[in-house]
Amino acid sequence: MHEQTTLGQRIQEGRKAAGLSQEALGEHLNVSRQAVSKWESDAAIPELENLIAMSRIFGVSIGRLLGVEPERAETPEQPPENGGLTEKELAAVEAIAAKYAEEAQRHQRPKWSGRRKAACALAVLLLLTAGILVKRQMDLIDRRFDEVQDQVIWIQDSVSREVGSLTSQMSNILDEKNHILANYQVSVTDFDAKAQTVTLSASASPKEWTDTTTAVFTATLSDGRQFTAEGTGQNGSFTAETFVVPMDQAIQLSVALMDGGSARTGSMETLYDCRPDNFQLMVSGNMSGSWRSGSGQVSLHDLALHIESNTYLTPLYPVEVDLCLYRNRETEPEQVLPIPEAVSLFREAGYTQMYNMTGYDTAFDLSEGDTMAVTFRVTDNRGQTFWTVAEAYRRTSGQIDSLSLSTTGSTDPQSWSPGDKLP
């Protein structure tokens, strides 16, 4: 997580690093997947308890998640609950006492009696004891001050939340009173991944209308661009069934009702996550490879694969999953191992999760200078096919090396495809 990123980007990085989908993170936090999406697109800010929970899930400090702490700070030693000194403080006091006693013994006058020596030692002990008691009292005062300060901050936060809640409720009441629509509905009915467009179905029913009322729907993108579609009306309900607009991270829908020379505008729903990468399956996985030193043969085993849908806007599911091996920059696979279990698991559970599967073992030989990309090829129900690199190998000077790829585990179908050169 980097300081120059936004809070939403840091939340998205932390979620992906933890191997969680937006829906899974929402389940951990007891919020909707749409709420997580709004946080990641910086359309909304999580509450403090959700930020704390996410910092624990991602394994980072709250300061790093908020972008105000460059690296994890060392946790200071905490004082005992009874108000006493820590082990380090007690050790320091003992060292001072020993040093003081040694100096007193070295500089004492021979004519001093045993009583005077005892009195001197007693005085030293009393001074040290008094210092310890003062230190304890100061620590106790500091703790009590911190407790009072925390209570004041908690009260201030509680009052602010209550005021914010009341303000929101009043705003909702006024919006409901002033809203010109009785109800409305917006949904994604289709998409074109190549053209990067979505097809919307929008409908709206105004509270007041006449036989001459007309409607125009408007989609406003995050960059301010607007697209319109005329609505067809019947019995006071207006619809636009095939409203095609570009994909975007936030699409705000509204409708303008016109009657004669007057026009009224009502806001509708905002669609989030309508970006190209949210209209494909999210795939990650790997296979373990082993080989003997000096040998050109690589054995693959222990397949692991995870597939889930990355969008709630339209149903996506795999119809064909294969393990494909591509040598050098060939566009046709050298080996194809179908994985029908991945398809059936997705149909049963809504996702695929396979670990250390042994039924898909294989092997191949590498000649000097050869590379081999071990990939998962996935085709979904919309006819989209893409590849995710699980492992990659190269033989150089008789040795076989595993290649570290930025594309490994990527969900971007353009990150690697047959014919691309391995690094």
Q: What confidence tens digit (pLDDT) does each residue in 314-369 have?
A: 789 999 999 999 999 999 999 999 999 999 999 999 999 999 888 899 999 999 99
Q: What confidence tens digit (pLDDT) does each residue in 114-124 have?
A: 555 555 555 55
Which regions of 310-384 does DSSP assign to beta strands (E)?
Answer: 318-327, 335-338, 351-357, 362-365, 371-380
**Class of 183-274 per CATH?**
mainly beta
**Class of 280-402 per CATH?**
mainly beta
Q: Give me the architecture of the 7-66 domain, per CATH.
A: Orthogonal Bundle (1.10)
User: Tens of pLDDT along the chain (423 residues)?
Assistant: 444 688 889 999 999 999 999 899 999 999 998 999 999 888 888 888 888 889 889 988 887 888 776 654 444 344 455 444 445 434 434 444 454 445 445 545 444 455 555 555 555 555 665 566 666 777 778 777 787 778 778 777 777 776 666 556 555 544 554 578 989 999 898 899 889 999 999 999 998 888 889 999 999 999 999 999 999 987 789 999 999 999 999 999 999 998 877 888 989 989 988 888 888 898 988 889 998 877 889 999 999 999 998 777 778 999 999 999 999 999 999 999 999 999 999 999 999 999 988 889 999 999 999 999 999 999 999 899 989 998 999 999 889 998 876 544 444 444 788 998 887
Contact 55, 13 (CB under 8 A): no
Domain boundaries, the chain: 7-66, 87-136, 183-274, 280-402
Contact 223, 234 (CB under 8 A): no
User: Which residue blocks in 85-215 are alpha helix, DSSP H?
Assistant: 87-107, 114-178
What 3-state class would DSSP assign to 12?
helix
In this chain, the answer to whether the domains covering 183-274 and 280-402 adopt an identical fold is yes
Distance CA 58, CA 404 (A): 24
Contact 188, 274 (CB under 8 A): yes
